[in-house]
């Protein structure tokens, strides 16, 4: 592949191809018909498909989520787009008391093809209510898939797969990645849920992450290389289902696991995967897994607050280097 487009252009291309090829697909959300098109991800769709398939909505997320769910039950495939993932809390009742449970309540005789796009707005000035990442809440509920594309290639393939799925899928996008460029096929394609990707091979430590933190992980691996440490970097890509096989295979080789997460320290993917790796490789890993997460506090609006709040490649590399410098654990098999 040689054609490069941005992350937001990949989302736009996926949506356009879906709407062209599937008349039952429509876009709904606050500001989806705006001239700038949610930072380019919906730009021009209103002009192309009209107000019957690109629906701007009032600020009533829960009610409109219920309406979109009803449309899914009669043959439509809504893409409900939220400018800020923070506001998805407003539609939790419709999402998780109805949409997530619908297939189970009907004995799996009726499907619920519902896609929600939630945008994580990390960046200067986003502050307390516009920069949070709530994916652990969403992933907790059975009946819902949750993915977090990192590259433009994934942004197109996972969104396409989400809209064509027969169950609800939440696609978490980082607005800080919208300008990221990458190779993306012009053809219509999908990517499988629950499949991670090795971004960089290594032999000393496995470093796994998702979404925007992967930019820092790749840079951190370069800094570690300067210290003689070979890091294998894994893009988890899919939160639920997650790819346990790729982690087990990598950690079996390196003996060390670091998981960097994009949310607070408690009750997150880093905790879940660390626990599972411990359960399966307890006698093989050299150290207890290292979890790198956000502080248990809210980020401020100033640049200085953000610089101190979020992880950087330098802070990640320093923590991993100090952690690896500790003596290895000697473990005995459980009796």
Q: Is residue 132 left, alpha or beta, with left meaning phi > 0 and alpha meaning psi from -120 to 50?
A: beta
Element (H, E) at 226: helix 213-226
How far is Cα of residue 183 from the mean position of the Cα atoms in its chain?
19
Distance CA 41, CA 151 (A): 14
With both helix axes pointing from N to C terminus, report the angle between 244-254 and 269-281 in degrees, rounded to the nearest 10.
60
Residue 140: CB atoms within 10 Å: 13
Lowest mean per-residue pLDDT among 38-42, 187-191, 213-217, 234-238: 38-42
Percentage of the chain modeled with pLDDT above 90: 72
Query: pTM, whole model, 2 decimals?
Result: 0.92
Catalytic residue among 9, 130, 167, 232: 130
Q: Output phi, psi for 51, to 5 deg.
A: -80, 0
Over residues 250-255, mean pLDDT: 96
Q: Given this model, what pLDDT does residue 207 score?
A: 98
* Cis peptide, bond prior to residue 246, ω within 30 of zero: no
272 is catalytic: no
User: Is the predicted pLDDT of residue 156 greater than 70, yes or no?
Assistant: yes
Mean of the pLDDT values across residues 318-323? 95
pLDDT of residue 57: 85
Model pLDDT, residue 123: 66
Q: Look at residue 1 in the predicted model and tell me its pLDDT.
A: 65
Confidence at residue 61, expressed as pLDDT on a 0 to 100 scale: 86
Closest CA to 121 of 89, 154, 83, 153: 83
Domains located in the chain, CATH noted = 4-183 (3.40.50.970), 197-324 (3.40.50.920)
140 carries an active-site annotation = no
Note the pLDDT tens digit of each residue in 264-297. Answer: 888 899 999 999 999 999 989 999 999 999 888 7
DSSP-based three-state secondary structure for 132? coil
Q: Mind listing the pLDDT tens digit for each residue in 206-234?
A: 999 999 999 999 999 999 999 999 999 99
Q: Phi/psi of residue 140, each to 5°?
A: -65, -30
Per the CB < 8 A criterion, the answer to whether 316 and 220 are in contact is: yes
Question: What is the pLDDT at residue 329?
Answer: 63
**Between the CA atoms of 101, 105, 108 and 109, what dihedral angle is there, to the nearest 10 degrees?**
-130
List, for residues 64-106, the tens digit of each pLDDT value: 999 999 999 999 999 999 888 888 888 899 999 999 999 999 9
Q: How confident is the model at residue 334 (pLDDT cuts 50, 70, 90)?
A: very low
Tokens of 54: 């690109």
User: What whole-number distance in Å separates Cα of residue 15 and Cα of residue 113?
Assistant: 15
The pLDDT of residue 132: 77
The DSSP annotation for 49-62 comes to: H-TTTEEE--S-HH
Catalytic residue among 61, 167, 173, 197: 61
pLDDT (average), residues 126-131: 68
């Amino acid at each position: 592949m040689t054609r490069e487009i941005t992350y937001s252009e990949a989302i736009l291309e996926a949506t356009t191809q879906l709407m062209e090829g599937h008349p039952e697909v429509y876009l709904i959300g606050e500001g989806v018909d705006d001239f700038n098109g949610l930072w380019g991800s919906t730009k021009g769709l209103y002009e192309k498909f009209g107000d019957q398939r690109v629906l701007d909505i009032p600020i009533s997320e829960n009610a409109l989520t219920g309406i979109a769910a009803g449309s899914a039950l009669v043959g439509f495939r809504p893409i409900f787009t939220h400018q800020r993932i923070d506001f998805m809390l407003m539609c939790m009742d419709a999402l998780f008391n109805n949409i997530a449970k619908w297939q189970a309540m009907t004995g799996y005789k009726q499907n619920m093809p519902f896609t929600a796009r939630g945008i994580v707005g990390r960046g200067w000035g986003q502050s307390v209510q516009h920069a949070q990442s709530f994916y652990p809440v969403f992933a907790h509920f059975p009946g819902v898939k949750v993915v977090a594309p990192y590259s433009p290639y994934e942004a197109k393939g996972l969104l396409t797969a989400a809209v064509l799925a027969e169950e609800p899928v939440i696609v978490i996008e980082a607005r800080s990645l919208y300008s990221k460029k990458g190779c993306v096929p012009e053809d219509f394609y999908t990517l499988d849920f629950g499949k991670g990707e090795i971004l960089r091979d290594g032999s000393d430590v496995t470093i796994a992450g998702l979404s925007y933190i992967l930019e820092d992980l790749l840079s951190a691996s370069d800094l570690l290389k300067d210290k003689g440490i070979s890091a294998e970097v894994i893009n988890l890509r899919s939160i639920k289902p997650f790819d346990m096989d790729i982690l087990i295979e990598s950690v079996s080789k390196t003996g060390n696991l670091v998981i960097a997460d994009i949310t607070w320290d408690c009750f997150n993917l880093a905790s879940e995967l660390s626990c599972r790796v411990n359960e399966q490789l307890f006698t093989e890993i050299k150290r207890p897994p290292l979890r790198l997460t956000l502080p248990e506090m809210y980020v401020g609006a100033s640049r200085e607050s953000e610089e101190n709040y979020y992880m950087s490649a330098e802070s990640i590399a320093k923590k991993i280097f100090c952690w690896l410098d500790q003596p290895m654990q000697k473990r005995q098999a459980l009796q």
